Amino acid sequence: MKAVVFYGPGDMRIEEREIPQPSEQEVLIKMKACAICGTDVRIYSFGQANVKPPQIIGHEIAGVVSQVGSKIKGCREGDKITLVTAVGCGKCRYCLEGRVNLCHHIKPIGYYYSGGFAEYMIVPAEAIRQGSILKIPEGLSFNEASLAEPLSCCINGQEYLNIGLGDRVVIVGTGPIGCMHAELAKVSGATKIILADISAERLKLAKVVEADVYINSEKEDLVKRVLEETQGDGADVVITACPSPQVQAQSLSMTAIRGRICFFGGLPHGKSRIDFDSNIIHYREISVHGAFASHHSQYQKALDLFVSGRIKASKFITHQFPLKDLVKGIETIKEGKALKAVVVMN
């Protein structure tokens, strides 16, 4: 089989490998689509502590079950499936609550375990035990199903925010994650969606979600403009979907009384301290939430949203690449030319 292997920052090689053989507790998947995540771009550019080269990355997976270990039940050859990325220890309090994404001993697929940028991959036994294999509903293509992972992460973030009818929502960062947040907020009843970014190119791509207001925060004062758009109140919800400490600090100044903030995007290591007036949180009763990855029920909601048509997965996909052109896909995202790029296997 062909696989693209990460050897270190800037070093991705296409290799010919043996098709892996599943043990009695494992499943072999023939990959159909694996979308490129912002994290993949980051791993390719800088490496990441939990990815030990040589490794096959890729975690936004859609494929077909091609071989099933003798002890596996509930999964058959030919099943169309997607996979929950986070694999927890299965024993800690977070795993027992179903929040495998918060397990201290998380071993994610596409980081710790080999991922989807290959023609075949093994689903590890631990993941199968935790129910990480989810069937793709009838009517969803592999490309569309591969976006269940990013949408599930946005669902995880928004579960803390309780967006409801009439809410005014600001999302800073209009990559695919920012755009998915916009669609989710609409589904939840938000009546004004304000998208901001420093890149004119990204803002242009984000037109697909038909937000109410687009702000180029490189050219305009973001806080001032948000206050103008909200009659001076500030937004009920602010989501930072970008790796910027300044934006996190600014978010407090554009949030309404009793507003909710989600620091969705992590900050680069060494740049994760922010300076803010804590009294804003105190007097204005603002809540600030974190969000990291996602778990099974959020994947299921993502698939349901796609298949119901409430959120159209295909609108996010601007580019497709064959496996051999994975690096080209990563570069296209880096240059800000793609909203979502999917590696498609034949």
The residues that touch Zn ion, with contacts defined as CB under 5 A, are 37, 88-89, 92, 95, 103, 149
Sign of CA dihedral 312, 316, 319, 321: negative
Using the minimum distance from each CB to Zn ion, give the nearer residue, 276 or 292: 292
* Smallest distance, Zn ion to C-beta of residue 19, A: 25
**Phi-psi map region of 44: left, alpha, beta (phi>0 left; psi -120 to 50 alpha):** alpha
Q: How many residues does the chain have?
A: 346
Using the minimum distance from each CB to Zn ion, give the nearer residue, 140 or 222: 140
- CA–CA separation, 177 and 175 (whole Å): 5
Using the minimum distance from each CB to Zn ion, give the nearer residue, 152 or 244: 152
* Smallest distance, Zn ion to C-beta of residue 157, A: 13
* Smallest distance, Zn ion to C-beta of residue 177, A: 9
> 142: burial class by Cβ within 10 Å (0-12, 13-18, 19+)?
buried
Rg of the chain, C-alpha, whole Å = 20
* Smallest distance, Zn ion to C-beta of residue 191, A: 29
What does the buried/exposed string (b/e) look like for 245-268 if buried means 16 or more CB atoms within 10 Å of the residue's CB? Answer: bebbebbbbbbbeebbbbbbbebe
* Smallest distance, Zn ion to C-beta of residue 254, A: 27
Using the minimum distance from each CB to Zn ion, give the nearer residue, 88 or 157: 88
Using the minimum distance from each CB to Zn ion, give the nearer residue, 102 or 247: 102
Helix, strand or coil, per DSSP, at residue 228: helix
